[in-house]
Each structure stands twice: as structure tokens, then as C-alpha cells.
Structure 1
Amino acid sequence: MQVHVATAGPDDAPLVLLLHGFPGFWWAWRHQLPGLAAAGYRVAAADLRGYGDSDRPPRGYDLWTLAGDAAGLVRSLGAREATVVGAGWGGAVAWTLAALRPGVVARLAVLAAPHPLALRAAVRRRPWSRASRILAAAQLPRLPERRVRRDDAAWVVEFLRRGAGTGWAAAPEFAEVADRHRAAMLAPRVSHTAIEGFRWSVRSQFRPDGARYAAAVDKPVTVPVLQVHGADDPWIPERVARASARWCGAGHVHRTLPGVGHFPHQEAPQHVTDALLDFLDA
């Protein structure tokens, strides 16, 4: 399994591993890569399995396997441990890694990403919520892939626009963001492999592997945790994100960004970089 990473900073510095969400790829961290590297950290922004220039095998899009990919990446970069930062789906991978491979994670930071069990509980309580509807739509065979790719991936642009907070869709950089994300999702098989994780997250709840996963991650994370959440996230209410404190056993800092939606690292990049540096230097 080949995983593509973009790196910056000194090779011998403490490692910070950045894990993107849907529908992103490593470039979503374009602002944090130079900012963290300039502060003296070695930074690696990965393309998750099935995204970008990483391999796209036919299976392995469950959180068990994706966390294993991340752990292997830390080792392949020559580090014993890393501060792991995840956004969206990448945040779910980061939470899982911290629970299953605690020796690999020095600190954990998550953006727009409640603990997987907090999100699962919220979806069950409100099956009509926006997040629930997105997950439900992903369960259909083939149709979601066609929808994503239709009209030169126009759906991707609309997804970014709907998920954003006030102003980002009108910002000068949004056109480039939209074009790059559309191109990433139009790459061969990515529209399928990117959705497979959402399929697993729902279907596994009715299978033994889902029960084993829930039991495995239902324990306190043993490293400090930073949560950054957009106050205007249309899919994940802040109360759901704050419920993640239940799984934080070694300190928990929650930062809310006003006017920001589901993509804090892209919508408010300097605020996120500053929050990460404060957390890393604490």
C-alpha cells in the first residue's frame, strides 16, 4: 500500500501528521504545511487511502485499516510518534488511531470531527439530521458515485459551498479550491473509494466488526486533545463535537471559530495554524 505525502520542515524535528477529510486531499493543508514547518516542526500531509495520489485498492476503507495506514506512515517517516491532526473523516481516523495505537500519537487535534461514538450517538438520536441524510445517501449502490462525477463534479463544488461558513464561498481563493477538489474527485475510482468509508461507518453498525470497533474505541484517549469546530458547521452541531470530551482522559481544549463552517483549516487557516502551534507548544 503506497501512501502519498507532502512534507515540509526539518527531517529531525518533531513530526506532525495531517489527515484530510472528504472530499479533500493533501492540498487541503496548504496553509498549515508552511506555517507549522516555519515554527520548527516536520509536517507531513497525507493522501488517505483511496484519495489523491495514494493507492486505491478495492477494500480497506474501514477505520481499523485507515488507522493502521496512519500508524505505518508515522513509522515509514522514521518517527516513533507524531502529533496527529485530522479534519472531518481524517479526524475520525485520528480518533481511532489514538484509541487503537496510543503509542504512535503524542497529541491529537481534530477539526470538525467529533469522536466517532459521539457522532454515531447523534445520528441515532436524530436520523433526520443533515449528517444522517448524507450518510444515508452514501449507502445506495453506484448512484452516489455518479452524482459526484456528473457535470464535471459540480456536486463537489456545491458540497464545499454548503458546508462552508459565512464568506468563504465568496473569497478569492474559492474558485481554485473548487477546481482542485473537483479534479481530485474526478480521478479514476476516487468517487467510489472516497465514499466507501461512509458506507462502512453505517453498515458496520449492524455487523460484528462494527460492535468490535465501538468497543475498541470506547475508552479515554490518553494524550492531550485539541478540538477546533466551526460555529456555523451545518452538518455537525457544536454540542455533538463537545460531547467528545467524554473520551478525553488527558486534557481537552475546545476552540470554536465564529463564522466558520465544516472546513476550518481552509476557511480560517491562520486561526487554525495558531491554535495548533499553541497546542503543540503547551
Structure 2
Amino acid sequence: MSTEVHSFLESIMQVRTALLLCAAVAALTACAPPQPSSPPPGTSTPQPRPVAPPPAGGGVDYQLAQGYPPDPGVEIVIRDHAASPESGLYNICYVNAFQAQPGAETEWGDLVLRDATGSAVMDEDWDEALLDLRTPDKRDRVAAKVNAWIDECAAKGFQAVEPDNFDSFTRSRGLLSAADAQDFIRLLSAHAHGRGLAIGQKNTSELAPDRERNGLDFAVAEECGEQGNCDEYTAAFDNGVIVIEYTDSGLTAACSRWGDALSIVRRDRDVLPVDEPGHVRETC
């Protein structure tokens, strides 16, 4: 065999080997499990970060209608997400997470809970429409809006968030379940923790035993002194319970049993600022 022929055959073998290697690599790549793609911008769930719950037993003020300078001894302030935190204190950001604000139903579109006649299901005490949390898609869409408020809370410097109306399923005429509420609160707690915020359970003592599964760090209990069920919260949250009372009898009951352990305050039901007639703030 001539040298030229031998070189030609050797070149053919090298090309053939290269082609076989390329085919093998392609086959392996095709068989490999697909790698997860990055989620679209704005839809990712932030990774959990260390959070600090409110100081147990710290003096508290519930300032939802409007922020005002806290009294001496106040360590914890709860304010609406539209307000600013109080410098030097532990600030909790209030968001109405399970119901629309009065008159704001149109902002939620098809996310308002409706009965068989098409009428919005209302919280009659506060004239607020309940939000529809019955499907994963709707829970995700409601959470996207509430989580945007939580992002605002974090950006302003709040240390925690309080999502109100966790118990709205009890007013839903059987359309919502406790499971719906808990599936939804877990979306909020994961997002809050990703922003470095603690998150509180608002009322709904029957779900307190699930606090760890729901990712909740403390409780805000309205009228547990009046209703005689503060111990249902402390059983799950120990001393990490903030008690809001609206009557003298409720304040007396809460203080007589829990005054040395829990954060307790009596406010007027409209939580008015200090300079408006009807403002009430009393402690143990």
C-alpha cells in the first residue's frame, strides 16, 4: 500500500471516529434530565433569610388608622403598609391579605369570591369582599399582589408583617376552607422570610397548632382576653403573642392572666390617632 493511500485511509478513520464521538455526546445530552429553567422575572420565591420575631412581652401600640409618636415604654408598633416604620422600634407591617379593602373590589377583578348568584361574598362587619383562594392559580395571583406590599414593607424597614383576615374562610358561606387559607398563608410566609421579615398569625386560634407548617413566627390575637382563649395562642407561640383588646373587661382579663408575659394593649375599635376624639390606648 502506498504512503498516500495509507494517509488517506487514516484521515477517513479519524473523521469517522470524530463523528461517532459527536453522536454519542448528542445522545447522552438528549437522555440527560432537563435542567430547570430560571423563572420569569418577578415570579421567583426568595430564599429564606434569618428573621427576628417581636420582643416577647414588649410594650405595643396598634396604629392602623394613622401613625403617631408612640408612648414611652412602647417597643413594638403595628402600622399599615402605606405608613412608615417608627425609628428605633420593632415595626410590624399590616396588610389586608385575605379580603379587599372597602370599595376596592374592582381592583381585584375575578379574584373576588362570588356566590352562585354572582354576588360578592362580604365580610358584613367591615364591608369587605372576600378574596377567592379556591384554586392554586387564584392563590398565586392574590399572593403576587400581597407580596408586592410585603416587598414595600421590607424596603421601608419594617421587621415583620401581619396579614389580616386569616379567618375569612369562616365567613365564606362554606366556599372557602381552612386548607385554602393555609395554602395561601404559606405563600406569604415563604415570601416574607425571603425578604427577611417575620410573619404573624392574625387571630384564627384553631389553626395555631399548624404554625410551624404554615411558617408563622408570632401571633396577633384580637380580644383573646374577652373571649377567654389566649392560651390557645400561647400553646403554639409561647410568649410570642401580641394581644389587642377593645374593652375594659377584655383588658382586665388578659392582664390578670398574661400581664407579665405577653404584649397587651387596649385600643379603640377604630384605632384612631392620638389627637382624635375617641382615641383609647391602655395597657396592663
Shorter-chain TM range is 0.3 to 0.5
Q: What TM-score, normalized by structure 2, do the two folds share? A: 0.33
TM-score by length of 1: 0.34
More helix by share: 1
Larger Cα-atom Rg = 2
